[in-house]
Amino acid sequence: MASLANEDVSVAELADWIEKDAVMTGHVMRLVNSAAFGRRGTVSSVRHAIAILGLIKLRNTVLGISVCRMWTQLRTPKGWSTARFNHHAAATGIMADLIVQYASVDYGEGAFVAGLLHDIGMLVVALSLSPQYLEIQELIQTGGMSNEEAELNVLGLRHSDYSAATLEKWNLPLAIQTAVRFHHNPAHSPEAASSGVTLSRVIYNADAVVKKLGISIHPDTAPPSIADATALLCEIGLEAKAEKILENFEKEYEVIKAVF
């Protein structure tokens, strides 16, 4: 996890890992030959894929697929949907990565990882505190509470606190830990005093955008809204790029979604 999250991971190291895993190789080849990259010829080698995708994009893809494959093997409590969790995690990572391509953000290279893992604390609670998790869900469904309100009521902590603690345990960079900890309240992040868009703010907006597109951990009765998603991108100064971001997101997400 820490190696893949490091932007300095080498091409040779990444290619070696991928080539030893036939399933992963297949997913990478599907991505590089997809409509998202619009190539006429067929790419058939991992080394060639790295040259086309770039190291960061390929690293993010491998990390996302690896982590989500790991989560599908876990036994989770009643009511938990690993599929929805995987889809939301991957979608948020992709959206965050697209946002930082057009917005000036400190440590933007950590956007995908932070987006992918921002809700890992929910999984931690579901796995290790199952009775409390079920109580939280009951408060959300019948008590009219938001997810964070219910978590504070039952646990005294938010899932974002558990997420950040998990990433600290995994030795991920401090910037990613901070963005994850404050992804629901970026105004309280230590970065907030600086000018410009913070990584916490990127994850906050990416999370909100994909929810508006109908990709949420919790079943949502509200219909997807492109207009609302676009408005959230405009909030961080991406008016001119919102349409392009959403178009690229759709292409990349369709490829990744097929993995799960």
What 17-22 contacts at long range (C-beta under 8 Å, 24+ apart), as own/partner pairs, is 17/62, 18/46, 18/62, 19/46
CA distance 118 to 130: 20
- With b for 16 or more beta-carbon neighbours within 10 A and e for fewer, the 30-67 pattern comes to ebbbbebbeeeeebeebeebbeebebebbbbbbbbbbb
Cα–Cα nearest to 167, from 221, 227, 97, 113? 113
**Residue 231 tokens, joined:** 């408005």
Coil, helix or strand for 161?
helix
Q: Give the model confidence (pLDDT) of 129-138 as tens digits.
A: 989 999 998 8
Please tell me the predicted confidence (pLDDT) of residue 193. 66
Q: What was the pLDDT predicted at 74?
A: 82
pTM of the model: 0.84
What pLDDT shows up at residue 3?
66
Say what the pLDDT of residue 52 is: 78
Domain limits, the chain? 67-257
Kindly list the averaged pLDDT for each block of 10 residues, start to end, along the chain of length 260. 68 81 82 70 79 78 81 84 90 95 89 94 91 90 86 92 93 92 90 79 96 87 88 94 93 77
Q: What is the pLDDT of residue 48?
A: 83
* pLDDT of amino acid 50: 79
- Reported as half-sphere exposure (CB side, CA atoms, 13 A), residue 125 has a value of 28
Radius of gyration of the chain (CA): 18
CATH superfamily for 67-257 is Hypothetical protein af1432 (1.10.3210.10)
Which tens digits make up the pLDDT trace of 18-76?
888 887 888 788 878 876 666 666 787 888 887 777 777 777 888 888 888 788 888 88
Q: Is 27 exposed, middle or buried (0-12, 13-18, 19+ CB in 10 A)?
A: buried
Q: In the chain, how many H helices and how many E strands?
A: 15, 0
